[in-house]
């Protein structure tokens, strides 16, 4: 798989093979600019793949149209963004509910799953009516995880979700994330530049090992 930004002649990613087993918890690390977020966006179908194939759950994302990708992502992939991407003026319940509606969940099932996730993530149910922009950073992160897990995805992607937390809070957050993941058996791709977090995962992988662009440039960041 090769990816170039429009208008650029130099590839950002040149990856011959990258695999994650079902149920596996992978820690993917690399310096800022090493292509981590770009790779995640390609896997999730947020960026179009022009060269090569990207197979997720035996489906070739590179051959799907935009609408098909949106439907597939809503049903099968949970994404925790670095900036959380919560809608600030909506309350917690609405933020989580929007993700559920994209996958066609009923209101009753959405409510049941939401309450179960809030309990697993140690969020008091009284925060359901709280606007997202009124939550603390830690609370916003947990809501972002609940939103990513509401559709019980087979693949959970987390892009630098602990970047704004202190050391103690990072470990606590990851333990909560993985504890919740164990309930669904989802595969996890957790991306960070902070290698102190490796201990929580089954396997670790460096962007330098998989991205031939970095190898050609002597592991310098892109």
Q: Tell me: the pLDDT tens digits for 207-217? A: 999 988 876 65
User: Does residue 6 fall inside a structural domain?
Assistant: yes
User: Does residue 221 fall inside a structural domain?
Assistant: no
Judged against a pLDDT cut of 60, whether residue 41 lies above it is answered with yes
User: Does residue 149 fall inside a structural domain?
Assistant: yes
Q: Which residues contact 57 (CB under 8 A, 6 or more apart)?
A: 76, 154, 155
- The CATH code of the domain that includes 72 is 3.40.50.300
Closest to 209 measured CA to CA, from 47, 14, 20 = 14
- The DSSP call for residue 100 is H
User: Does residue 80 fall inside a structural domain?
Assistant: yes
User: Which residue has better confidence, 30 or 216?
Assistant: 30
**H or E stretch covering 203:** strand 203-206
Q: Give the model's confidence band at 221: pLDDT under 50 very low, under 70 low, under 90 confident, else very high.
A: very low
Residue 206, SS3? strand
Judged against a pLDDT cut of 60, whether residue 38 lies above it is answered with yes
pLDDT digits (tens, 9 = 90+) for 79-137: 988 778 899 999 999 999 988 888 888 999 999 999 988 888 888 889 999 999 999 88
Q: Write down the pLDDT at residue 215.
A: 63
Q: How far is Cα 200 from Cα 121, in angstroms, rounded to an integer?
A: 17
User: Does residue 222 fall inside a structural domain?
Assistant: no
Instruction: Read off the pLDDT of each residue in 167-181 and give the average, rounded to a whole number.
Output: 80
Closest to 35 measured CA to CA, from 207, 209, 161 = 207
Judged against a pLDDT cut of 80, whether residue 164 lies above it is answered with no
- Count of domains forming the chain: 1
What pTM did the predictor assign?
0.84
User: Residue 211 is part of which domain span?
Assistant: 2-216
Q: Give the model's confidence band at 203: pLDDT under 50 very low, under 70 low, under 90 confident, else very high.
A: very high
User: Does residue 89 fall inside a structural domain?
Assistant: yes
Name the region of 45 (left: φ>0; alpha: ψ -120 to 50; beta: rest): left
Q: Give the model's confidence band at 220: pLDDT under 50 very low, under 70 low, under 90 confident, else very high.
A: very low
């Amino acid at each position: 798989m090769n990816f170039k930004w429009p208008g650029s002649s130099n590839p950002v990613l040149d990856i011959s093979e990258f695999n994650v087993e079902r149920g596996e918890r992978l820690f993917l690390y690399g310096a800022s600019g090493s292509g981590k977020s770009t790779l995640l966006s390609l896997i999730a179908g947020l960026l179009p793949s022009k060269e090569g194939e990207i197979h997720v759950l035996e489906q070739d994302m590179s051959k799907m149209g935009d609408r098909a990708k949106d439907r597939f992502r809503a049903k099968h992939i949970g994404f925790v963004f670095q900036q959380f991407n919560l809608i600030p003026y909506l309350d917690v319940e609405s933020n989580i509910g929007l993700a559920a509606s994209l996958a066609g969940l009923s209101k009753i099932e959405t409510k049941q799953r939401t309450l179960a996730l809030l309990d697993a993530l140690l969020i008091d149910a009284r925060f359901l009516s709280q606007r997202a922009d009124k939550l603390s950073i830690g609370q916003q992160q947990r809501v972002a995880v609940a939103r990513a897990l509401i559709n019980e995805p087979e693949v959970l992607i987390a892009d630098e979700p602990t970047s704004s937390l202190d050391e103690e809070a990072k470990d606590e957050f990851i333990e909560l994330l993985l504890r919740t993941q164990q309930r669904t058996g989802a595969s996890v791709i957790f991306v960070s530049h902070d290698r102190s977090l490796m201990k929580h995962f089954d396997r670790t992988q460096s962007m330098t090992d998989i991205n031939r662009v970095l190898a050609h440039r002597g592991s310098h960041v892109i």
